[in-house]
Amino acid sequence: MSDSTAAESSKLSPAMERYLEVKAQNPGSILLFRMGDFYELFFEDAEIAAKVLGITLTSRDKASDNPIPMAGFPYHALENYLHKLIRSGYRAAICEQVEDPKKAKGLVRREVTQVVTPGTLTDEALLDPREHNWLASVFAGRDSVGLAWLELSSGRFFTTDVSFEQLPDELARIRPAELLVSENPAHAEQLWPVLQQRGMVLTKRPPWSFAPEHCLKMLLNHFQTRTLEGFDLTADSAGVTAAGALIEYAQETQKSSISHIEKLEP
């Protein structure tokens, strides 16, 4: 732990300041913060990890008045612990040291390189080889429900418009590992019961990420096309909006190219 010596002072160490900054940028995720050969978790995350992962809860700055709860595991155990976290329904943001500590001037630069959620797994070790792992998104339009589903591990991407009555059947058919929905969806009184009763792993997104124009733009940008007619889709369908929200989320979590998603199939 190259930074541990810097933490002795009563004020927050630069590393902890960076931690809080990254944590604030990734709300809702358990932050795995790389420090040398360990991934460390702090505060509430540490308490959750101690429970879910069965690792020891300790604290940083033990001598000070406000010791920080801390837990961690060696870097080579990441896969195993990540698997447990995701299985237990948590999301994890992995913050790596993105420069060589030997060459770093001062604090090593750290960035979130990947956000892992049940629907965005791509690591072979975390996936069941026999099962699809669909990330889906649902958007209640004026007179239909848009549904889109995407498998990041293969790049397959689909969308459709269904009626409210058909929605449970479609969800039962696709069995998404994670479902995106607006925090404040239209027809909420119809939508929530359908989603909540079925034990779906729901990820609530801000309402603007389901704004139809914004979603269309996301898709056109991703596919580098001017219209979606080539995919046999109309721009104003609810399914297209659901698909756009999905692409945005995929970009946010992957932090790397998702150019393998080459087409959107109706």
Partner 1 sequence: MIIDEATRASLELTRTLREGRRDGSLLDTIDETVTSMGSRLFAEWLSNPLTDRAAIEERLDAVEELARDAALIRDLRDQLRQIHDLQRLTARVATLRASPRDLGSLAQTLALLPKAKARLSGRRSAILQQLETDLDLCPEVRADVEAALVDEPPLLTTDGGMIREGFHPPLDELRELARGGKEWIARYQAREIERTGIPSLKVGFNRVFGYYLEVTAAHMDKVPADYIRKQTLKNQERFITPELKEYEDKVLRAEDEAKLLEQDLFQALRTRVAGHVTRLKNTAEVLAELDVLTSLAVLATGRGYCRPQLTDEPVLDVREGRHPVLDRLKPSGDFVPNDVILGVNDEEAARGSDSAASFGRMQIITGPNMAGKSTYIRQAALLAIMAQTGSFVPASEARIGIADRVFARVGASDELGKGQSTFMVEMTETARILNSASDRSLVILDEIGRGTSTYDGISLAWAVTEYLHDTIRCRTLFATHYHELTELTSTLKHASNWNVAVHEKDDGIIFLHRIVPGAADKSYGIHVARLAGVPRDVVQRAQVILEQLENDHVDDQGRTKIPARKERKSRERQLSLFVAEEHPLIDELRKMNLDELTPLAALQKLHSLRDQVK
Please report, as ranges, the residues that interact with partner 1 according to CB under 8 A: 122, 124, 127, 129-132, 152-155, 168-169, 171-173, 175, 197, 254, 256-260, 262
At 25, list the tokens. Answer: 């940028």
Residue nearer to partner 1 on the CB measure, 13 or 153: 153
Can you say whether the dihedral through the CA atoms of 208, 203, 170, 197 is positive or negative? negative
CB of 262 to partner 1, least distance (A): 6
Residue nearer to partner 1 on the CB measure, 207 or 230: 230
Residue nearer to partner 1 on the CB measure, 9 or 256: 256
Residue nearer to partner 1 on the CB measure, 5 or 257: 257
CB of 133 to partner 1, least distance (A): 9
- Chain-centroid distance of CA 15 in Å reads 24
Secondary structure (H, E, C), 127-163: CCCCCCCCEEEEEECCCCEEEEEEECCCCEEEEEEEC
Q: Please provide residue 255's backbone torsions phi and psi, each rounded to the nearest 5 degrees.
A: 55, 15
Q: Whole-angstrom Cα distance, residue 266 to residue 254? A: 24
CB of 49 to partner 1, least distance (A): 25
Q: Please provide residue 140's backbone torsions phi and psi, each rounded to the nearest 5 degrees.
A: -85, 110
CB of 117 to partner 1, least distance (A): 16
CB of 175 to partner 1, least distance (A): 8
CB of 174 to partner 1, least distance (A): 8
Residue nearer to partner 1 on the CB measure, 70 or 112: 112
Residue nearer to partner 1 on the CB measure, 234 or 256: 256
Q: Please provide residue 124's backbone torsions phi and psi, each rounded to the nearest 5 degrees.
A: -55, -40
At 138, list the tokens. Answer: 């649902």
